[in-house]
Structure 1
Amino acid sequence: MRKQLLVFTAILSLFLLIACGDTENVSVKNEKKPTELLNSEDVDVTNNQVDGDKVVGDNMDGELGHADVIHSTWGKIPEGLKEAKNPKFKVGDQVIINAAHDDDMQGSKGTIVGAYETTVYSISYESTTGEPEENKKWFVREEIDSLGEKTLDVGSKVIIEADREEGMKGAEGVIDTVEETVVYMVDYVNKEGQTVENYQWLKESELSPAK
C-alpha cells in the first residue's frame, strides 16, 4: 500500500512540473496600454482614426480636393475655329453665368479661358446609345457635318462630331436654332462647390461681368 502511494505521489509531482513548464512558454501579444496601441504598427490607422471610416474628398482646410474637380473631356478646340478678335470678355475675365445648360450652373462665377467667333447651334438628336436629347446647347459650326446641305439652317440634318458626352459623337440630329456670335470656354465653380474645367460653350449673351 505504501509503495502504491509513493508511485502515485511521484506521478502527480511529474504532472505538476510539466504543467508549470507549459505556462512559461505561453506568448502574450499586444501587452500595451491603449494609448500605446495608437502608435503601434499592429493597428490600421487612417486619418487619425482607429478602425474607422476613411475620409475621401475635402481636405482638412476646407479646400477642394481632387474628388471635387470635374475633369471634363472638354477643352479640345475644333479644327478651324478662330479666336475672337475683340470679344466682350477677355481670357482671364471673371464672369457670372446666366445660362442653365446643366444643373447648378446658373448664377455660378467663372473665368474665361477662350473666346471664339463662329456660328452656334442648338440641336435635337438621338445619341448613339439611344438616349434622346432635345434642343441641346451648344454646338459650333466646326463640330458638325452637314448631310449634303450647303447652308445649315433650322431643320437641317447634321452629324455631330463633338465628343463631349457619351453617345454624342456620330449622332444624327436636327438643328433647332442658329446664331452667329462669340462663344466662350469657361472654368467655373457650380452651386455644389465642384470645379468644372473648360466648359464648352457659353454665348456672350449668357454671361455678365462679375462684380
Structure 2
Amino acid sequence: MKKQILSVSAAFALVLAGCGASTTKEEPVKNEETSPGEMEGMDHSSDGSIPEGIMEAENPTYPVGSEAIIETDHMEGMKGAAATIVGAFDTTAYSINYTPTDGGEKVMDHKWVVHEEIENPAPAPLEKGTEVTVLADHMEGMKGAKSEIESAEQTTVYMIDYESTTDGEEVKNHKWVVEDELSEQ
C-alpha cells in the first residue's frame, strides 16, 4: 500500500512539474525590437478579415500564394519559418506605444498596426508622437487603446500562414509583416 501511494505521488509530481515547465505560444521574445512582456496575449492567427479601406497591392514582391522566409522575430518561432503569402496590401505600417485597455503594462514599439486599423486617422503617414486610438485586436487589450505613433513606414504589408519553428503550431492569417521582414526562399 505504501509503495502504491508513493508511486501515485511521484506520478502526480511529474505531471505537475511538466505543467509548470511548459511554455505557451504567447511567451514574449526579447530582442531589440520588443519590450519585456510585449508579445504576451498576442493572437498569432486571425480570421483573415482585413480592415476596411485597405488596398490590395497591385504588384507585390511576394504575390498571394507565393512563399518567403520570415526574417523577423516578432514572436517566438517566427524567424526562419517558411511563410505562405495569403494577402498583400499597400498601406502605411506603424510601430506604436500603447497602454492596454485591460490594465496591462505599457507596450513599447509594437510592430505592426496599419493605417486602416486606426480610428478616424488623419491622412497617412502620421507623424511620430501622434496620439491615436487603435482598432486592431492583435493582442489582448489592444482594441480601443490610446496609442502613440513611434514610427511610420509606407510599404507593402503581408498577411501570412506559417508553421512555428519552435512548436510546430500552424499559424493562419497572421497580421502583419512588412516587406523587408521577408526574403526569398
**TM-score, normalization: structure 2?**
0.71
Asked if the contact 1:74/1:164 (under 8 Å) is kept, the reply is no
Distance 1:117 1:150, change over 3 A: closer
Match of 2:178 in 1: 203
Secondary structure (helix, strand or coil) at the match of 1:96 reads: strand
Match of 1:189 in 2: 163
Asked if the contact 2:69/2:83 (under 8 Å) is kept, the reply is yes
Match of 1:118 in 2: 91
Match of 1:50 in 2: none
Between the two structures, name the one with larger relative contact order (CA 8 Å, sep ≥ 6). Answer: 2
Correspondence list, 1:55-134, <5 A: 72-131=45-104, 132-134=106-108
Distance 1:146 1:123, change over 3 A: farther
Asked if the contact 2:87/2:158 (under 8 Å) is kept, the reply is yes
Mapped to 1, the partners of 2:45 and 2:62 lie a distance apart of: 22
Mapped to 1, the partners of 2:138 and 2:47 lie a distance apart of: 6
Structure 1: segments with no counterpart, 5+ residues: 1-69
Mapped to 2, the partners of 1:99 and 1:201 lie a distance apart of: 11
Correspondence list, 1:152-191, <5 A: 152-191=126-165
Aligned structure 1 segments of 4 or more residues deviating by more than 4 angstroms: none
Secondary structure (helix, strand or coil) at the match of 2:171 reads: strand
Match of 2:37 in 1: none
- Cα displacement string for residues 184-204 of structure 1 (whole angstroms, at most 9, x for unaligned residues): 000001112111100000101
Aligned-residue offset at 1:71: 7.6
Asked if the contact 2:46/2:174 (under 8 Å) is kept, the reply is no
Distance 1:176 1:100, change over 3 A: same
Match of 1:139 in 2: 113
Secondary structure (helix, strand or coil) at the match of 2:53 reads: coil
Count of matched residue positions in the alignment of Structure 1 and Structure 2: 140
- Cα displacement string for residues 102-147 of structure 1 (whole angstroms, at most 9, x for unaligned residues): 1111111110000000011000100101122110000110001257
Asked if the contact 2:162/2:171 (under 8 Å) is kept, the reply is yes
Mapped to 1, the partners of 2:175 and 2:132 lie a distance apart of: 19
Distance 1:74 1:168, change over 3 A: farther
Mapped to 2, the partners of 1:119 and 1:195 lie a distance apart of: 27
| Equivalent residue letter for 2:113 | F
Asked if the contact 1:143/1:162 (under 8 Å) is kept, the reply is yes
- RMSD between aligned alpha carbons? 1.7
Aligned-residue offset at 1:169: 0.5
